[in-house]
């Protein structure tokens, strides 16, 4: 199995009604890997398409119960007792009722001397659940409706609540934990690393290492592990980037698990996007195959906010906030020039969440273009025609475009990066050039300025909102590992933190629903027409 890049973002549309939802080719930041899926459908009349879930015979009067049971089995969290049924648990070493500082000798307690406080009510019961969907749609034609059947029947879907458990399946003194950051940079990486280390130390773990430069650090003999402790990570969240470095590519799954065995690593925390998670799941499966007691936990890192089932991913809020600077600069440039047009390109390979939220937030954007919706540049209903109208009526215009938008207008390269992602054409430069050409041809003066703040946005430190999100994700990743789970990821779901089996969140990127209320709000804000 070779090491590839992040999920192929060419999966941007769902299969038509009645087709089977077969395996997707996911290229992991480290490994080539595909996620098996059964045929699954959710009825959605507004798009006449299906979303992945379990195929159901709606004529069966008992279909609801069968749906519940299937959902329960799909979202069951893999646990080390699946492979080691006799694995024993011990009382948790994580308790916040401690009022005196732990001295060093306390950390070396043997299993019979762990202090436990039976009266502390801070643990999460294994049967606690979080409701996945909270809106009861009355009709499939309601904005954003996702219905399991044509009658839009309310069906509860519950996922596992994250947090510390009363019983743990690893003795802290026997744990060697490793943290790896894969893919590209994202605000908040250091915050997550810091909190994983701090929480591990609270449990009593002494051996913590960082794997340098993604999965490459498992194979490159010139790279050595980075010893981590609270002292090392204390202030790393004050700057952007990753203390451990990032990279795409690396060794195959088997080689990575060999290295885990050699180094005695039994907890692996993987920070990355869809593709990285596919790789983490492959590592988890290989560890199971070899009957290794290793917990592999993912923390979703995607600035694009394109992970399924989660409210948002870390770095997204910061990206939207930082994008305001670029949009405001574009507005000032456009507003200060005669017939000024400002074009801003933001991140978003297959999902337009950053462009949509940044446009909504700024209130200065006249046209927002996202990958989920095709558009024409030319023609009577095209973007350029609307730009001409804007110059005539208000004298200036601002265009915000996601990097994955309008790729059908550009020449295909078929080139891929080290992560297996298709290298996109530059839609921002293309719009800039076509705009200049168009206005020259129609004999109207236009002053076009183009801004691409991509790497400035990725490299900043996390804002307060993301800092909190990163802190809680890091803590819950450690709680999940000590609880004995593996092959899971942690995320925010309906304002609560939850654990998900990795395959359920990586089958395809999460997309902006063109019929959602949020996209409608964006259209209301920009006042743009359809460009088709």
349 annotated among ligand-binding-site residues: yes
Residue (of 465, 472, 500, 470) closest to 486 by Cα position:
500
Paired tokens of 11: 């999966």
348 annotated among ligand-binding-site residues: yes
Q: Tell me the torsion sign for CA atoms 426, 429, 434, 437.
A: negative
CB 29 within 8 A of CB 248: yes
53 annotated among ligand-binding-site residues: no
Beta bridge mates, 489: 298, 500
Paired tokens of 209: 């290492």
**From 62, 82, 149, 304, the catalytic residue:** 304
93 annotated among ligand-binding-site residues: no
Angle between helices 253-263 and 274-289 (to 10 degrees): 60
For tokens 């979080």, what's the residue?
Answer: 130
497 annotated among ligand-binding-site residues: no
Tell me how far the alpha carbon of residue 75 is from its chain's centroid. Answer: 18
DSSP secondary structure letter of residue 501: E
Strands in 267-272's sheet, in edge-to-edge order, are: 129-131, 158-161, 496-501, 488-493, 295-300, 267-272, 176-181, 207-211, 226-227
181 annotated among ligand-binding-site residues: no
**DSSP 3-state percent helix, strand, coil across the chain (nearest 5):** 35, 15, 50
Per the annotation, the verdict on 304 as an active-site residue is: yes
CB 489 within 8 A of CB 298: yes
Q: Is 484 helix (H, G, I), strand (E, B) or coil?
A: coil
372 annotated among ligand-binding-site residues: no
Task: Tell me how far apart the alpha carbons of residues 283 and 297 are, in angstroms, rounded to a whole number.
Answer: 10
273 annotated among ligand-binding-site residues: yes
290 annotated among ligand-binding-site residues: no
Q: Is 257 helix (H, G, I), strand (E, B) or coil?
A: helix
> 3-state secondary structure string, 374-388?
CCCCCCCCCHHHHHH
249 annotated among ligand-binding-site residues: yes
248 annotated among ligand-binding-site residues: yes
86 annotated among ligand-binding-site residues: no
194 annotated among ligand-binding-site residues: no
275 annotated among ligand-binding-site residues: yes
Paired tokens of 83: 């492979």
Q: What are the phi and psi torsion angles at 109 (to 5°)? A: -60, 145
356 annotated among ligand-binding-site residues: no
CB 209 within 8 A of CB 225: yes
Task: Tell me how far apart the alpha carbons of residues 482 and 275 are, in angstroms, rounded to a whole number.
Answer: 25
Cβ contacts of residue 81 below 8 Å, gap of 6+? Answer: 87, 169, 484
455 annotated among ligand-binding-site residues: yes
**How many degrees, rounded to 5, is the angle at CA 182 between CA 25 and CA 420?**
35
Q: Binding site membership: which residues?
A: 184, 248-249, 273-276, 302-304, 347-349, 403, 455-458
List, by residue number, the catalytic residues. 304
Q: Binding site membership for Mg(2+): which residues?
A: 274
Q: Binding site membership for substrate: which residues?
A: 302-304, 347-349, 403, 455-458
Q: Binding site membership for ATP: which residues?
A: 184, 248-249, 273-276
């Amino acid at each position: 199995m070779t090491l590839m890049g992040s999920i192929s973002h060419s999966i941007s549309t769902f299969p038509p009604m009645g087709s089977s939802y077969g395996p997707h080719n996911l290229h992991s930041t480290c490994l080539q890997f595909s996620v098996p899926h059964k045929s699954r459908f959710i009825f959605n009349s507004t798009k006449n398409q299906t979303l992945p879930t379990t195929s159901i015979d709606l004529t069966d009067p008992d279909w609801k119960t069968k749906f519940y049971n299937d959902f329960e089995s799909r979202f069951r969290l893999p646990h080390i007792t699946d492979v080691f049924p006799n694995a024993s648990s011990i009382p948790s070493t994580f308790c916040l009722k401690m009022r005196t500082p732990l001295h060093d000798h306390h950390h070396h307690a043997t299993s019979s001397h762990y202090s436990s406080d039976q009266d502390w009510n801070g643990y999460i019961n294994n049967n606690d659940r979080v409701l996945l969907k909270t809106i009861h749609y009355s009709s499939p034609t309601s904005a954003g409706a996702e219905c399991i059947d044509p009658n839009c029947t309310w069906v509860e879907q519950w996922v596992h609540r994250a947090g510390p458990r009363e019983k743990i399946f690893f003795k802290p003194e026997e744990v060697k934990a490793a943290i790896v950051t894969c893919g590209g940079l994202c605000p908040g990486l250091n915050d997550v690393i810091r909190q994983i280390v701090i929480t591990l130390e609270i449990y009593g773990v002494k051996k913590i290492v960082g794997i340098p430069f993604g999965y490459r650090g498992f194979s490159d003999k010139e790279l050595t592990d980075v010893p981590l402790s609270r002292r090392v990570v204390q202030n790393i969240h004050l700057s952007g980037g990753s203390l451990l470095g990032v990279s795409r590519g690396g060794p195959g799954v088997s080689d990575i698990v060999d290295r885990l065995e050699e180094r005695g690593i039994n907890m692996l925390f993987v920070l990355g996007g869809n593709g990285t998670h596919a790789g983490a799941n492959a590592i988890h499966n290989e560890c199971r195959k070899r009957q290794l007691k290793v917990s592999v936990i993912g923390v979703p890192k995607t600035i694009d906010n394109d992970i399924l089932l989660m409210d948002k991913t870390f770095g997204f809020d910061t990206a939207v906030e930082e994008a305001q600077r670029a949009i405001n600069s574009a507005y000032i440039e456009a507003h200060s020039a005669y017939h000024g047009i400002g074009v801003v390109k933001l991140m978003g390979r297959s999902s337009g969440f950053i462009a949509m939220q940044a446009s909504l937030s700024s209130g200065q954007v006249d046209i927002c273009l996202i990958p989920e919706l095709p558009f024409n540049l030319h023609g009577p209903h095209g973007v350029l025609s609307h730009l001409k109208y804007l110059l005539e009526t208000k004298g200036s215009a601002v265009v915000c475009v996601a990097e994955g938008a309008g790729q059908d207008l550009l020449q295909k390269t078929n080139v891929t990066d080290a992560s297996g992602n298709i290298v996109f054409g530059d839609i921002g430069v293309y719009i800039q050039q076509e705009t200049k050409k168009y206005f020259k041809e129609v004999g109207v003066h236009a002053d076009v300025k183009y801004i691409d703040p991509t790497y400035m946005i990725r490299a900043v430190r996390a804002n307060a909102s993301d800092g909190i999100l990163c802190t809680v994700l890091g803590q819950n990743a450690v709680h999940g590992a000590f609880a004995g789970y593996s092959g899971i990821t942690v995320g925010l779901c309906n304002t609560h933190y939850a654990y998900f089996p990795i395959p359920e969140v990586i089958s395809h990127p999460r997309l902006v629903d063109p019929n959602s209320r949020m996209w409608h709000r964006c259209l209301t804000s920009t006042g743009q027409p359809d460009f088709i």
